[in-house]
Amino acid sequence: MQEKPNRCGFVAIVGAPNAGKSTLLNRLVGTKLAIVTPKAQTTRNRILGITIQDSAQMVFIDTPGIFRAKEKFEKAMVESALSGARDADIVLLMVDAVRGITPQVENVLERLGGTTAPKFLVLNKVDKAEKAALLALTKALCDRASFERVFMISARTGDGVDDMLALLASSMPEGPWLFPEDQLTDLSERFIAAEITRERLFMSLQQELPYQIAVETESWEERRDGSVKIQQVIYVRSEVHKKILIGHRGEKLKGIGAAAREHMERLQGRKVHLFLFVKVDEQWKDKREFYQALGLEY
């Protein structure tokens, strides 16, 4: 007879922007749920990824980076990360070991001060970090906050991730599994498709522009030949931004659309017809519906 599954818990992945949180989530789940870019503040909401190890079901919550936000929308992003940490059974605090203790990391430690869940320190990017500096970094961080465990990993190469996962599994509270065995996330296909387009936009646009853009999947039509027709709206905040995004003779947007479509086809294993529309909405960052779509507090 099969042993009864008996552990289940929530693990929040928090840290400064760009620490590698989403890269880790994708590796833990074994598929790409969260978008990843070299730019800070890529993730805007909580991304749930579920994985099973031995008798434990672990529900990982990838969160937006914690930083000193000024605008309402960015503040809501940071708040969703902090509340993710508050709701978790274990908090993984991820630090980019190449950058070390930056003012942003200091800020993260300060903001997480009131968290009651046990904290595990995760030094990431050890593939690029100076090995000799890791111990000193660990010590400096442990002087500033109390951590039950320290892991040194590379979310990119997977180095150290299995050991961490095994330990997390044995640290989960006892209890029944909360999700069906084959469920990987609670995200909708529509949302994931919108994020794929946003990832392309983040990669293709410079400076402030990626932060002024939102993507919404407007329609999703399954076709009889097995393909799918997806229409998305890209919201920008000014006509100037719209012009930059569309590019000379529409070339820029066309390139973005082609890359996003290919990515969706790989993910879904079928033909995708992707149609992108650009709308100017100066105020989208102040509109309730954009917060609701991301589960952010308005």
Ligand X SMILES: Nc1nc2c(ncn2[C@@H]2O[C@H](COP(=O)(O)OP(=O)(O)OP(=O)(O)O)[C@@H](O)[C@H]2O)c(=O)[nH]1
> What are the angstrom distances between the C-alpha of 226 and each of 63, 144, 258, 266, 272?
34, 55, 19, 14, 9
Complex with ligand X: residue 73 or 228, whichever CB lies closer:
73
Q: Does 124 bind ligand X (CB under 6 A)?
A: yes
Q: Does 127 bind ligand X (CB under 6 A)?
A: yes
Distance CA(129)–CA(133), nearest Å, equals: 8
* Contacts with 188 (C-beta within 8 Å, 6 or more apart), sequence order: none
* Residue 113: other Cβ atoms inside 10 A: 8
Site string for ligand X, 128-147 (x = CB under 6 A): x-------------------
Distance CA(150)–CA(114), nearest Å, equals: 20
Site string for ligand X, 140-179 (x = CB under 6 A): --------------xxx-----------------------
Length of the chain: 298
Number of residues that bind ligand X (CB under 6 A): 23
Q: From 33-41, 226-234, 265-273, 286-294, give the range in contact with ligand X by CB under 6 A.
A: 33-41
Complex with ligand X: residue 36 or 209, whichever CB lies closer:
36
Q: From 35-43, 163-171, 246-254, 256-264, give the range in contact with ligand X by CB under 6 A.
A: 35-43
Nearest Cα to Cα of residue 95 among 136, 46, 58: 136
Q: From 11-19, 182-190, 206-214, 218-226, give the range in contact with ligand X by CB under 6 A.
A: 11-19
Phi and psi angles of residue 106, each rounded to the nearest 5 degrees, phi first:
-55, -45
Q: Which of 11, 22, 26, 153 binds Mg ion (CB under 5 A)?
A: 22
Task: Report the nearest approach of Mg ion to the CB of residue 135 (Å).
Answer: 27
Partner whose footprint covers residue 128, from Mg ion, ligand X, none (CB < 5 to 8 Å by kind): ligand X
Distance CA(217)–CA(197), nearest Å, equals: 10
Task: Report the nearest approach of Mg ion to the CB of residue 155 (Å).
Answer: 11
Complex with ligand X: residue 9 or 65, whichever CB lies closer:
65
* Residue 208: other Cβ atoms inside 10 A: 10
Distance CA(116)–CA(113), nearest Å, equals: 9
DSSP letter for 269, please: T
Q: Does 197 bind ligand X (CB under 6 A)?
A: no
* Contacts with 284 (C-beta within 8 Å, 6 or more apart), sequence order: 214, 235, 237, 290
Token duo for residue 222: 């399954």
Q: Interface residues for Mg ion in 38-77 (CB under 5 A)? A: 42-43
Please give the residue ranges that form the binding site for ligand X (CB under 6 A).
17-23, 36-38, 40-43, 64-65, 124-125, 127-128, 154-156
Please give the residue ranges that form the binding site for Mg ion (CB under 5 A).
21-22, 42-43
